Structure 1
Amino acid sequence: MSGRHSDRTGLRWLLNALIVLSIGLTALLIEPPRQAGAQERRTIIDMLFGFGRRRPPPVYDDVPIYEPRQREPQQQRPRTKKVKQKAKPVPAEPAPVVVEKLPDAKKVLVVGDFVAASLGDGLQTAFETTPGIVIETRANGSSGLVRDDYFDWPESLPAYIGEVKPSVIIVSLGANERQQMSIDGAKEKFRTDAWLAEYTRRVGTFAALARKDKIPLLWVGMPPFQSNSMTADMVTFNGIFRTEAERVGGNFIDIWDGFVDEGGKFVMTGSDINGQQVRLRGSDGINLTKAGKRKLAFYVEKDIRKLLGEAAASGQDVPGADGLKDLVVTAPTANEDIIQTQPISLDDPDLDGGSALLGGTTALAGNGKSPRDKLVEKGEVVSAPAGRVDDFRLAKPETVISNPVIRN
């Protein structure tokens, strides 16, 4: 048994040696001869599988058979300079025309709460080009006739009148009145009978105080608001304002329709004084926008101009009789200067004196009876014109030319 084992071991060793020798010979056949002076050493694994280094290209007479493909440099495109577009200029609003007021200009005093302040701003815009009228606003945004402990209007109004010396007084109150009132030291709830009676008395007293010096009084009513309950209360207040203002000889200005729709409901957006749809009220549904202020003043502007008359003129120079002489159309100096032109006849468009149109015949004079009338009344059938398709006459008039028959 030991002999057989030794024979197998020797045979196995011989086979391994032959395998290694064959691998070495194969590597030598595949690997090209190295140039002299090369110092690199490669293993059998490197020669078999090409690990470690890249094989150099084969040479023929010291000239490489192929050369690695070189990437051609790309031509750079010329960079185009981006032109930055200039933003279109926003047209500037025209500067307001400043008109210097006259030394003897009539003054209009506006008093009241925050609605009166908005009215004063609108009137400033309305009369900014009128040199004969000056708007003076004395408003307290949170004031009213209910709380005399916060701001006392009956006490402050005479001082304002003495300071401004107005020609017209405008009152706008009521937006802050929806609260309890102190009557003889007791707190009275809003809208009770006692509250309404006392408030009516205070409105009448204040209106009479404004009319004490016989100054024209314009009491401007309250507009509707977004709150339905507040709007309903404004309707009640406007009724009181109208009655008490007219009782002392003043005028009540109703502005309600300018801030509601066709159904009488509150609107945030509506038409301005030019009929364009604009935002009239602020986001709170109470305050007014610039367009809303101008529309509010529009209702009062007409009465102011009516009361102040000539002072409400725009101040532009109106030419007199001498300045209008170039606009007067003078009569001709003589009859021969008038050029007379004969009328053009409708049946003579070429003005050649002809009485018939080109290619037409003289119109037949009729008796006023239409073919229908002749057929219905007398049963007469009007003869068809010569040459028409329903002309069945045997003898053709000379005006009708029959088509010649072509024969082969």
Structure 2
Amino acid sequence: MLRVAVFLILTTVTGLAVLQPVQPAAAQERVERKSFLQLLFGGSGSSSSNGEQTTRKAAPEVSRTSRVNTAPSRRSVAPPPDPVVEKLENARKILVVGDFLANGTADGLTAAFSQAPGVVVVDRTNGSSGLVRDDYYNWPEQARSIAEEVQPSIIVVQLGSNDRQQLLVDGKREPVRSPNWTAEYERRTLSLINALGGDSRPLLWVGLPAFKSPSMTSDMVALNGVIRKQVEKAGGEFIDIWDGFVDEEGKFIYTGSDINGQQVRLRGSDGINVTTAGRRKIAFYAEKSIRRLLGDAAAEGVTALDSANFPEIFMPPAPDESVAAIMRTMPIAMTDPALDGGSSLLGEMPATASLFRSPRDQLVLDGVLPDPPKGRVDNFAWPRAEP
């Protein structure tokens, strides 16, 4: 009976233990294992008021980006173009004729007088023309009609760079720079000068520059000599530009000084054509003579042209070989002997007032040399005295 009672009690206790609900794992307190550093220095997750441990949230990672310069880029600003100047109705006209070099000179003169209301540049050039191929373009015939149409105040000519060709003389082809070729070329040059007006208006003939080809450069030197002779004979002005396009040794250059003294490219890669800076430089040579002839008419800001600001320009008379040469008096220098009475010879000078004659007087008047010092090498006294 006792055994049955004990068995019932044990059975009841075991059943109650089985029926007791078991707490889930998530409801139990979570114990975090501490690292060695946390055990040594302390520090752990802080517990909240309800007994649950809160974990420290990591700070959000900041993305690193490369620094970008947001400042606006500085770009070179081109200078504003010069304002367009309206030309006067009676502006003086500069007629430019010639080949492709003259075309560049016309562009340079246009830029030079762009701000001058009293000057207009008229370009009547033909790039492939010359004095040799009159069958292609006959300059003496065309020049007369051009001059009558334009009525220029000044004529600028640059011609000859295309004339390194055989020339037909009396039905026979003459080689370049032969005597007959040179004589015919001189005749055609003078014919062109007369067709442009002769001595009725100023004529400026711009010379030819050096080229890359040595043979072509040699021919240009010869042509400049022929043209200069005819232009000066007709009373015109030959403008020599040779030194502006060669170095100190007289050799062809691609790069040189512009009108402001800066080193720039003057010639094209072919060694023949001229760059914009080179054109302006050629025109600069002619510009000086043009401004001298036009006076105040070539100045900027001119509002009207009359006799007060436009001088009378004319060609000097051509030299006449029958007229005797004009005797010109040379200027007297500051060191001229006549200024200090040195026109007399040495013997005509008054005698010096002295009781003793100087070694010079002894030599000039008496012809006696002074005695040399004893013992000197030029002492020829005999018998020789002991020193």
TM-score grouping bracket, smaller chain normalisation:
0.5 to 0.7
Question: What amino acid does structure 2 have at the position aligned with 1:130?
Answer: A
Q: How does 1:259-298 map to 2 (within 5 A)?
A: 259-298=245-284
Q: Percent sequence identity over matched residues?
A: 55
Find the counterpart in structure 2 of residue 233 from structure 1.
219
Find the counterpart in structure 1 of residue 63 from structure 2.
78
- Mapped to 2, the partners of 1:83 and 1:306 lie a distance apart of 56
CA contact (8 A) 2:239 2:285 kept: yes
Q: How much has 1:207 moved relative to structure 2?
A: 1.3
Question: What amino acid does structure 1 have at the position aligned with 2:267?
Answer: R
Q: How much has 1:163 moved relative to structure 2?
A: 1.9
Find the counterpart in structure 2 of residue 197 from structure 1.
183
- Mapped to 2, the partners of 1:265 and 1:233 lie a distance apart of 14
Q: How does 1:109-120 map to 2 (within 5 A)?
A: 109-120=95-106
Aligned mate of 1:315, from 273, 291, 301: 301
- TM-score normalized by the length of structure 2: 0.61
Matched, 1:102 2:88: yes
Deviations 1:263-313 (A, max 9, x none): 222111111111111111111111111111111111101111111223112
What SS class does the counterpart of residue 266 from structure 1 fall into? coil
- Mapped to 1, the partners of 2:140 and 2:59 lie a distance apart of 92
CA contact (8 A) 1:181 1:188 kept: yes
CA contact (8 A) 2:147 2:197 kept: no
Deviations 1:157-180 (A, max 9, x none): 112112211001111001000011
CA contact (8 A) 1:104 1:132 kept: yes
Matched, 1:139 2:125: yes
Distance 1:159 1:277, change over 3 A: same
Structure 2 stretches lacking a partner, 5+ long: 1-29, 34-56, 304-387
CA contact (8 A) 1:211 1:248 kept: no
Aligned mate of 2:134, from 148, 151, 172: 148
What SS class does the counterpart of residue 122 from structure 2 fall into? strand
What SS class does the counterpart of residue 230 from structure 2 fall into? helix
- Mapped to 1, the partners of 2:243 and 2:199 lie a distance apart of 32
Structure 1 stretches lacking a partner, 5+ long: 1-62, 67-71, 318-408
CA contact (8 A) 2:118 2:302 kept: no
What SS class does the counterpart of residue 305 from structure 1 fall into? helix
- Mapped to 1, the partners of 2:253 and 2:111 lie a distance apart of 23
Matched, 1:157 2:143: yes
What SS class does the counterpart of residue 187 from structure 1 fall into? strand
- Mapped to 1, the partners of 2:295 and 2:71 lie a distance apart of 55
Distance 1:178 1:86, change over 3 A: same
Find the counterpart in structure 2 of residue 218 from structure 1.
204
Question: What amino acid does structure 2 have at the position aligned with 1:261?
Answer: D
Find the counterpart in structure 2 of residue 171 from structure 1.
157
- Mapped to 2, the partners of 1:158 and 1:261 lie a distance apart of 38
Question: What amino acid does structure 2 have at the position aligned with 1:270?
Answer: G
Matched, 1:206 2:196: no
Q: How much has 1:262 moved relative to structure 2?
A: 1.6
- Mapped to 1, the partners of 2:208 and 2:200 lie a distance apart of 24
Q: How much has 1:186 moved relative to structure 2?
A: 2.5
Q: How much has 1:191 moved relative to structure 2?
A: 2.1
Which deviates the most, 146-155 or 85-94? 85-94
Find the counterpart in structure 2 of residue 91 from structure 1.
77
Q: How much has 1:316 moved relative to structure 2?
A: 5.8
Matched, 1:123 2:96: no
- Mapped to 1, the partners of 2:292 and 2:156 lie a distance apart of 14
CA contact (8 A) 2:141 2:195 kept: no
* Superposition CA RMSD, Å: 2.5
CA contact (8 A) 2:198 2:234 kept: no
- Mapped to 1, the partners of 2:277 and 2:68 lie a distance apart of 44
What SS class does the counterpart of residue 139 from structure 1 fall into? coil
- Mapped to 2, the partners of 1:75 and 1:275 lie a distance apart of 65
What SS class does the counterpart of residue 252 from structure 1 fall into? strand
- TM-score normalized by the length of structure 1: 0.58
Deviations 1:35-54 (A, max 9, x none): xxxxxxxxxxxxxxxxxxxx
- Mapped to 1, the partners of 2:290 and 2:68 lie a distance apart of 61
- Mapped to 2, the partners of 1:213 and 1:178 lie a distance apart of 29
Q: How much has 1:79 moved relative to structure 2?
A: 5.6
- Mapped to 1, the partners of 2:210 and 2:121 lie a distance apart of 25
Q: How much has 1:84 moved relative to structure 2?
A: 4.9
Question: What amino acid does structure 1 have at the position aligned with 2:242?
Answer: W
Q: Which has the larger radius of gyration?
A: 1
Question: What amino acid does structure 2 have at the position aligned with 1:226?
Answer: K
CA contact (8 A) 1:112 1:171 kept: yes
CA contact (8 A) 2:94 2:121 kept: yes
Question: Per chain length, whose mean CA-contact separation is higher, i.e. which structure has more relative contact order (CA < 8 Å, sep 6+)?
Answer: 2
- Mapped to 1, the partners of 2:94 and 2:70 lie a distance apart of 54
Q: How much has 1:147 moved relative to structure 2?
A: 0.2
Find the counterpart in structure 2 of residue 359 from structure 1.
none
Which deviates the most, 210-219 or 173-182? 210-219
